[in-house]
Chains A and B, each alone.
Chain A
Amino acid sequence: MKALIAMSGGVDSALAAKFMLDQGYDCIGCTMKLYQNEDAGISRSRTCCSLEDVEDARSVAYKLGIPYYVFNFTDAFYDLVIRKFVESYQNGITPNPCIDCNRYMKFDKLYMRARILGCDYLVTGHYARIEKQGGKFLLKKAVDETKDQSYVLYSMTQEQLAHTKFPLGNLRKAEVRQIAKQNGFVNADKPDSQDICFVPNGDYGSMIRLYAKDAQTTGNFVDKQGNILGQHSDIIRYTIGQRRGLGISASEPLYVCGISPQSGNIVLGRECDLFCKEAEIADFNWISGDVPRNGFSCKAKIRYRQQEQPAHVTPIGNSRVRIAFEKPQRAITPGQAAVLYDGDIVLGGGTILSSGA
């Protein structure tokens, strides 16, 4: 059996490769080159897929004695991830590019490469589990809840799950680092990647301005009644729920409650204005491939680092879902992902279109 290991240069994917080798797989290592470091102004290594990371990944592959390739997906990454990221912010939406990268890069472009190379499996260092039950593949949370990445994998299909392995899903991060150290991996103590890989220091505003050539969208801060509270310099610099950096003095703290790209208005309100119970989700993927006929209760998550919340879910057609939370949720943000869980099992997920009530 043959496996293509997606290696980011970090400790997780290095160990994933080792586990597959130990299980007797014929392994090929690879790293996706997704952008020009110089383009993003990146000269340091706290992100994945930089040139230094390529060197680390290559050295791990060499140590493991497996062939290693760098795939240049720069063009596709720009078309399918960066462009959408930029356009979303310009349209007042807050995207999650990591989800797009998994969907369009790892489990499409790279998955295709695995097939071309005759590999039975694509292997990544994600913290999540895949299990087969009654002819269907289940996507499940990682054993290490603090590292669980199932949220960013909701777009996976049955076919992809059938040909993917997450060898770290049953391990804790501390164990991973320990095993890596025991095996003398150069990257055993490398810090976990932070931020969005192509946005150094989290300064996404500057990054968007680098790519988007058109003029800044200036406009007004307004209250819920439409009264002008002040001016802002660029709508891309704001996201729902934001409090810092508004530069407006008021008797009580103000938060971004809405963004209107047409008028350029940013609606400010009190924290309690951020809470609502309903969300409409588009582009929804049901992991099982079967769309439920009726509404049901489960748990849902509207951002990566959130506890799942009890909710009632109503499917609308094949790819839309309405979620009614039991309790009001803070800052349900268009563009972010909503993911549904039944215990450990990911039922599916999609992109938040709007919130209400």
Chain B
Amino acid sequence: MQIYLDNAATTKMSAAAIEAMLPYMDTVYGNPSSLHSAGQVAAEALTDARQRIAACIGASPKEITFTSGGSESDNQAILSAARLGERRGKKHIISTAFEHHAVLHTLAKLEKEGFEITLLDVHENGIVLSQQVAEAIRDDTCLVTVMYANNEIGTIQPIKEIGAVCREKGILFHTDAVQAAGHLHIDVQEQNIDLLSLSAHKFHGPKGIGVLYARKGIPLTNVIEGGAQERGKRAGTENIPAIMGMAAALEEACTHIDANAKKLTVLRDKLIEGLSQISHSVLNGDAKQRLPGNVNFCFEGIEGESLLLLLDDKGICASSGSACTSGSLDPSHVLLAIGRVHDIAHGSLRLSLSEETTNEEIEYTIKAVAEVVEYLRSMSPIWRDLISGKKEFVIK
């Protein structure tokens, strides 16, 4: 038995997405840039996918650029806005402390080039306010980049309001919507979004494909140079099968977005309620303003990694934060950003649900986590110090 509760890391592909891809591997395998008819059929498919994806987010097809995924989209969006700003002598960018590393590392690179970066506080509930953005804007601000929903703690940011503030001041607004796409409504016009990143594998599409939406009139700077694909803004032969899979997955997710959210919210809240029963535990991030499938807890006195190991042993696939076990530093910058102290941030657990998650799985998980936490605490020298009063509990 395997219970997969790591859908924020990646999802299983939907049958619709797989089915949509198959013809483009053996029947329609032409290169859309080719003159001949085989190429033209592929080009037609590309146009169709672009239209359908644009429709899902309220954009027009020309505003859609296909990329290799969320990280590339984030890189290109931020670099494009920075180059535009630079030309006008504007070298200040506003973001938050808990963005994905694709954003933070790109900003760090720009900082070395002489840009000034303001990272806004996200408070204990993991939500930045549009008021903070308004106050941070300066004459030389060229970009505001704030994620739609956080990848670790799932908190949803007021992007429509932030977008309105930016629009009023004439500043570009980018949102990393990688965790939100397919799970929360996106309407780039209504939400005042200039640039947006999304990634197919977070909504049951294939890996290695994503979208950068850039509002008409915003010139993009190339990250990958080469041929004239994607109107010259992203070189490389289009990954047609993946693009077709992404279009099908996004359409399917958007069609069922409300029903899925409703179902997931019930399971999520049940899981939160169940895990809250564990002593000295705390939910990370706002309880309501969060992704319907995200649960993130800290348990005092234990290490997140040991918790994951023993849950894996019980058949539960979970995560302690971002997916890169071997590539990222503990503890999570997200948990530190919401004010969790170092030791507590180490004992974190992220459970991310999908539409396929069942009530039985949630019940099993609540029981399993409680057992594992109790077992680990029974062996933990830190826990011994805590209950004997030698050390004070941080989580009451």
Contact = CB atoms under 8 A, between A and B. Distances in A.
Interface stretch (B34-42, B116-124, B196-204, B326-334): B326-334
B376 interface: yes
A113 B325 contact: no
A113 B305 CA distance: 10
A54 B325 CA distance: 11
Given A116-B376, A116-B379, A72 B309 contact: no
Contacts of A69: 309
Contacts of A113: 306, 309
A72 B306 contact: no
A113 B313 CA distance: 13
Contacts of A74: 329-330
Contacts of B309: 69, 113, 116-117
Given A116-B306, A116-B309, A117-B309, A72 B325 contact: yes
A65 B77 CA distance: 44
Given A33-B326, A116-B379, A72 B305 contact: yes
B325 A70 contact: yes
Contacts of B328: 72
Interface in A265-304: none
Nearest to B328: A72
A71 B312 CA distance: 14
A interface bracket (residues with beta carbon within 8 Å of B): 10 to 19
A75 B326 contact: no
Interface in B365-380: 375-376, 379
A67 to B, nearest CB: 8
Contacts of A190: none
Interface string A190-229: 0000000000000000000000000000000000000000
B310 interface: yes
A36 interface: yes
Contact of B310 (A51, A71, A116): A116
Interface in A109-127: 112-113, 115-117
A36 B328 CA distance: 8
Nearest to A58: B326
Contacts of B306: 113, 116
B315 to A, nearest CB: 13
A33 B327 CA distance: 9
A113 B308 CA distance: 12
A115 B309 CA distance: 12
Interface in A222-256: none
A115 B379 contact: yes
A157 B363 CA distance: 42
B305 A36 contact: no
Interface in A14-43: 33, 36
Q: Which of A54, A69, A72, A115 has the most CB of B within 10 A?
A: A72
A36 B330 CA distance: 11
Contact of A36 (B310, B313, B325, B329): B329
Contact of B330 (A51, A72, A115, A117): A72
A51 B379 contact: no
B162 to A, nearest CB: 33
A116 to B, nearest CB: 5
Interface string A57-88: 00000000000011110110000000000000
A80 to B, nearest CB: 14
Contacts of A70: 325-326
B305 A75 contact: no
B331 A75 contact: yes
Nearest to A31: B326
A33 B326 CA distance: 7
A284 to B, nearest CB: 23
Contacts of B305: 71-72
Nearest to B320: A72
Contacts of B331: 75
Nearest to A116: B306
B323 to A, nearest CB: 12
A129 B92 CA distance: 62
Contacts of A71: 305
A108 to B, nearest CB: 10
B372 to A, nearest CB: 10
Contacts of A54: 326
A86 B68 CA distance: 41
Contacts of B313: 117
11 contacts: A33-B325, A69-B309, A70-B326, A72-B325, A72-B328, A74-B330, A75-B346, A112-B379, A116-B306, A116-B375, A116-B379
Interface of A: 33, 36, 51, 54, 69-72, 74-75, 112-113, 115-117
Given A70-B325, A72-B326, A75-B331, 20 more contacts: A33-B325, A33-B326, A36-B329, A51-B326, A51-B327, A54-B326, A69-B309, A72-B305, A72-B328, A75-B330, A75-B346, A112-B379, A113-B309, A115-B379, A116-B306, A116-B309, A116-B375, A116-B376, A116-B379, A117-B310
Instruction: Report the 3 A-B pairs with minimum CB-CB distance, sorted nearest first.
Output: A70-B326, A116-B306, A70-B325
